[in-house]
A and B are shown apart, each in its own frame.
Chain A
């Protein structure tokens, strides 16, 4: 019987935003759901995250942003994704994401944007269903 490797998730705090309560809750939740989760800690540049994702050969990159700067940061990350060959890695974003930014984020290549109060199980479910 072949053992499938666990789905690898990188949860990252990108930029200067210091609100990490949600990111850490998501990390614990995904660990409990059986994923192999790495948390970057605060103050990661988009480049550092892309590099780490490549190094760890992750299946999912999760960016946590609660300062409202998700659009400029995701625009930067979109370019790095290409540069670091991460276009097949599932890209999710969580935090303070207004409804009107859902479509623009998807247009950048974000696979799902989870706003405040997203049920934890739905994040795990999305990952399970979308990691090839």
Chain B
């Protein structure tokens, strides 16, 4: 669509490369695809929302990311958040756990309990979720490299507590392809990593059909430097890669697609973000229906958590981050997300303090209670600007997906490091523009405060946690039946080597108190380790 800015106005081009007109009208919507594409909420193609009544029926789930130190401290923080209105848990694990190392591994030095909760065995899960009703408060596990072990641990813990896993809800992030692009908690090479994701999808389709084993993340790709179009396109390519893998193993699309979920980023231009999500919903539904032949509408839903994004927040004038968080929450609500999690104002300093986490919850609660965000569905629908932008974003996302496919698909692109290179190149260009002042950031290159006095009450790190955790690990190893544990781990290795689904063996192994490290090591024995492609 050709646009022309009047001579006295500088052109405005959004991050996705779309030129923004000073004034929009009905004909702009018509010129980019028409009003007929808007549709109704709860009906294909779901532009306006995956459900008919959305927040009018029930507000979004509030799921702040939380976890640190040992399971005891994390359990306390969970309860604090729930008491302050949090409606779902989103578990942060420490880095050793995330990459499948036990707390006493030499590479774990300095990291035990630092960025999340330390988990070595089932014992830790038993403590972490004590006193929490897993049906009332669903749990999302932010785990990727070590996902099979931790999902197994969750099911084992739930079963031991008397829950019927066949009716258990919850989510695991378990999106390994994005880890290779940004985030970095991979362990095994690309193909076996996809295989393990497939194992969890197949296992859950049969044994835990209400559980969401995968949350495909555009979030981290955006955080790493991707623009909104790339965020959606790469995420959709990744989701399709998992779908294709699972279909090749004999599943039917409607057997599992409704349990896929997504995780997207929110920072940047308000309207571009809202359009991104509406376009994404419509495009995903179309892909599932037309390309995969899905018949169940649930398979076509873009179920998502949206929030963040850390990259938008600043170390300067941290109080400004409370405001940014509020704007991002507003965007999230206007975009029809199912779940919301905000980065806290101390994001650039440390993991959230109690106060910062509480402020994020209040941010969301104010939207719900005071500002009418739940009264009606997709309130921006029909806006000339938003509908035009939605049409344009959809076209751009589709075009990029086709480009990735034409160049050999996302899996090959990730193996060769091409996506990583494209995204990091963009992060560099963005940084240079920021330093030149071409991109303006409040407090960073405009409205700065000389000699700023930053008083951020930082969440303290407790170095003694490591000793405590190692003692517990040693105690569990000493008390468990070592023969049972060793046999169980051996079975996981055999299953992995024979390309059988590892999940049943994982569940038995974690019940025998096999450790995260033992289970990860046996998968390394079967699959090897990822070697990062370095290209500049």
How many chain B residues have a CB neighbour from A under 8 Å? 40
Find out whether the CB atom of B110 lies under 8 angstroms from the CB atom of A15: yes
Task: List, in ascending order, chain B residues with CB within 8 A of A103's CB.
Answer: none
User: Is A96 at the interface (CB under 8 A from chain B)?
Assistant: yes
Q: Which residue of A lies closest to B116 (CB)?
A: A67
Find out whether the CB atom of A120 lies under 8 angstroms from the CB atom of B110: no
Q: Select A71's contact among B106, B110, B115, beta carbons within 8 Å.
A: B110
Find out whether the CB atom of A25 lies under 8 angstroms from the CB atom of B428: yes
CA distance in complex: A31, B535 (Å): 13
Cβ contacts A46-64/B at 8 Å (1 or 0 each): 0000000000000000000
User: Is A107 at the interface (CB under 8 A from chain B)?
Assistant: no
* Min CB gap B226→A, angstroms: 11
How many chain A residues have a CB neighbour from B under 8 Å? 34
Find out whether the CB atom of A20 lies under 8 angstroms from the CB atom of B348: no
Task: List, in ascending order, chain A residues with CB within 8 A of B424's CB.
Answer: 20-21, 24-25, 28
Task: List, in ascending order, chain B residues with CB within 8 A of A120's CB.
Answer: 431-432, 435
Interface stretch of the complex, out of A2-10, A37-45, A80-88, A124-132? A37-45
CA distance in complex: A12, B316 (Å): 26
Contact A25-B427, Cβ < 8 Å, known A39-B534, A98-B458, A116-B348: yes
Interface stretch of the complex, out of B25-33, B44-52, B157-165, B177-185? B177-185
Find out whether the CB atom of B115 lies under 8 angstroms from the CB atom of A42: no
CA distance in complex: A70, B106 (Å): 16
Contact A18-B184, Cβ < 8 Å, known A96-B349, A116-B315: yes
CA distance in complex: A116, B443 (Å): 14
Task: List, in ascending order, chain B residues with CB within 8 A of A27's CB.
Answer: 536
CA distance in complex: A45, B184 (Å): 15
User: Is A102 at the interface (CB under 8 A from chain B)?
Assistant: no
User: Is A79 at the interface (CB under 8 A from chain B)?
Assistant: no
B 237-276 contacts with A by CB, 8 A: none
Task: List, in ascending order, chain B residues with CB within 8 A of A25's CB.
Answer: 424, 427-428, 431
CA distance in complex: A6, B366 (Å): 57
* Min CB gap A51→B, angstroms: 16
Contact A28-B428, Cβ < 8 Å, known A15-B111, A41-B532, A67-B95: yes
* Min CB gap B111→A, angstroms: 5
Cβ contacts A91-121/B at 8 Å (1 or 0 each): 0000010100000000000000001110111
Q: Which residue of A lies closest to B431 (CB)?
A: A25
Find out whether the CB atom of A117 lies under 8 angstroms from the CB atom of B461: no
Contact A73-B349, Cβ < 8 Å, known A20-B182, A25-B424, A29-B428: no
Cβ contacts B165-185/A at 8 Å (1 or 0 each): 000000000000001001111
Find out whether the CB atom of A67 lies under 8 angstroms from the CB atom of B115: yes
Task: List, in ascending order, chain B residues with CB within 8 A of A43's CB.
Answer: 99, 107, 184, 532
Name 13 interchain pairs, CB-CB below 8 A, sorted by A: A15-B107, A16-B98, A16-B99, A16-B111, A18-B185, A20-B424, A21-B182, A21-B225, A25-B428, A28-B536, A43-B99, A68-B114, A96-B349
Minimum-distance CB pairs A-B, first 9: A18-B184, A72-B110, A69-B110, A16-B95, A41-B532, A24-B424, A28-B428, A42-B184, A116-B315
Instruction: Give B residues with C-beta under 8 Å from A.
Output: 95-96, 98-99, 101, 106-111, 114-115, 179, 182-185, 223-225, 314-316, 348-350, 424-425, 427-428, 431-432, 435, 444, 458, 461, 532, 534, 536
